[in-house]
Structure 1
């Protein structure tokens, strides 16, 4: 257990914290006096990220290995947090994958190719060069949805040990229900009074079965555009967030779309910087006591999930 001076500080865990938005979230939280546990699957990259933050004067950041798709890895992290701090004040589930592969000619500087294009045109260009396989869709659900769930379940008792526990799930406007083609699925995912986590788990399996069988459109899933699995994974995260907020009213549990940011997941085609995107996530994480819970933030503002 940490000494009293440290235990009085808020403690945060950030998944996927070694680069991009996750690294900026770690930097901004640490600069506000929060003790940050930066987690990443790759130990070398995670440790290097922590050293860079230390070099910038942010000493209250430490690394811990985490593979979000492995429940035993999440349990190991929970043991570490419990033994070192006895509680967790903030959990930010940021780790994720896009669930697609971009076929891009890297011999030409990408910024030259994208010169003169606005953010929407850059996104459309990226979509036109992207393909998605069943294996990538399966990985996308395993990391984005189940990974969020595994880490949350492992760390939930420690969040409950905080006097003001916060859970922020990084989502996307691609998770809005308007992308679903079937009204029944939309209504079910928006019916938080009756929706259960077990049903969301089942939905993820049904989606993958329908993906494999070519039944996406006929069964109401997003089917007319790219990043299909990503859209489903983020819609499931939004539903999971709202259910958890209902089940654990003492905690502040929200999801947030940080904006279309320039990160390596989208080949830096975004319109916002990683720092700007992280700012929205940190804002939600540090909302005043008694702030909203169970809502979806579109950057800094509460927005509908439909």
Structure 2
């Protein structure tokens, strides 16, 4: 049975990915910042008859927590087959249903640090901690859950449908994550690793005050396509069905 670690797996798309993968025969370590929430998520899946899931306390912003999770999982298995870096925040506050977008001139450094700590440094911290277990898999996969909002090409094009939706903090954090994905895929290019950045469709979850238009089921299925693909699949690429429904690939 292949082993999977999903960060931020106690709710939203992360939870749905755990459900779908478990139903496909994978064993899921559900990374969760709050173990109580993670245990409740596991219980919910168990009530559905899904038992190949386990909650692991993992706060991607805390090096000690990440290493503790690595040690805990390492006592349970010698191999990790898939890492899905799903945990993320946008740092946006809302007035009712209206998001207060971060601006390049008006948003302070503290907000950038808060968001980057999860979306960028958390991914790096987790990937580096678990790379040794992944290297023992015959078909290791790393999926960094990104956003099409981080595409420099799309957001510099005035004809792009979301051109005027500029959020300096969240979008730049995903651009940074994308560059890390490119560098990681390059370093692992002569191995069986497949490393990709994948943006779910605009999905209605707590993350965006349920303002998305797609479902968690669709979002999870799209991301998992690149987590469970065979060795003929792509690596070092960026995918989002919202912006390219034919192939899914979008520009960096």
Whether the TM-score (by the shorter chain) exceeds 0.5 is yes
**Residue 136 (structure 1) shift:** 2.6
Question: Match of 1:256?
Answer: 198
Question: Match of 1:55?
Answer: 47
**Residue 78 (structure 1) shift:** 1.3
Equivalents in 2 of 1:69, 1:226: separation in Å? 25
Answer whether contact 1:140 1:230 (CA < 8 A) is retained.
yes
Question: Match of 1:96?
Answer: 88
Counterparts of 1:270-281 in structure 2 under 5 Å?
Answer: 270-281=212-223
Question: Match of 2:227?
Answer: 285
Question: Match of 1:303?
Answer: 249
Question: Match of 1:165?
Answer: 140
Selected match of 2:66 from 65, 74, 88: 74
Question: Match of 2:4?
Answer: 12
CA deviation digits over 1:89-137, x for unaligned, max 9?
Answer: 0000000001211111xxxxx7xxxxxxxxxxxxxxx4xx414443332
Answer whether contact 2:154 2:251 (CA < 8 A) is retained.
no
**Residue 304 (structure 1) shift:** 3.5
Q: Does 1:237 align with 2:177?
A: yes
Answer whether contact 1:90 1:165 (CA < 8 A) is retained.
yes
Structure 2 residue matching 1:153: 3-state secondary structure: helix
**Residue 84 (structure 1) shift:** 0.6
Q: TM-score if structure 1 supplies the norm length?
A: 0.73
Q: Unaligned stretches of 5+ in structure 2?
A: 157-163
Larger radius of gyration: 1
Selected match of 2:150 from 175, 178, 189: 175
**Residue 179 (structure 1) shift:** 6.1
Counterparts of 1:86-235 in structure 2 under 5 Å?
Answer: 86-104=78-96, 126=98, 129-132=99-102, 133-134=107-108, 135-178=110-153, 225-235=165-175
Selected match of 1:294 from 222, 236, 240: 236
Equivalents in 1 of 2:116, 2:7: separation in Å? 16
Equivalents in 1 of 2:251, 2:26: separation in Å? 30
**Residue 87 (structure 1) shift:** 1.0
**Residue 305 (structure 1) shift:** 2.7
Structure 1 residue matching 2:115: 3-state secondary structure: helix
Question: Match of 1:29?
Answer: 21
Quickly say closer, same or farther: Cα 1:148–1:101, change in 2 above 3 A: same
Structure 1 residue matching 2:90: 3-state secondary structure: coil
Structure 2 residue matching 1:58: 3-state secondary structure: coil
CA deviation digits over 1:29-70, x for unaligned, max 9?
Answer: 101000000011011111100100111111000000011011
Quickly say closer, same or farther: Cα 1:225–1:269, change in 2 above 3 A: closer
More helix by share: 1
Instruction: Give me the CA root mean square deviation.
Output: 1.8
Question: Match of 1:5?
Answer: none
Answer whether contact 1:99 1:227 (CA < 8 A) is retained.
no
Q: TM-score if structure 2 supplies the norm length?
A: 0.88
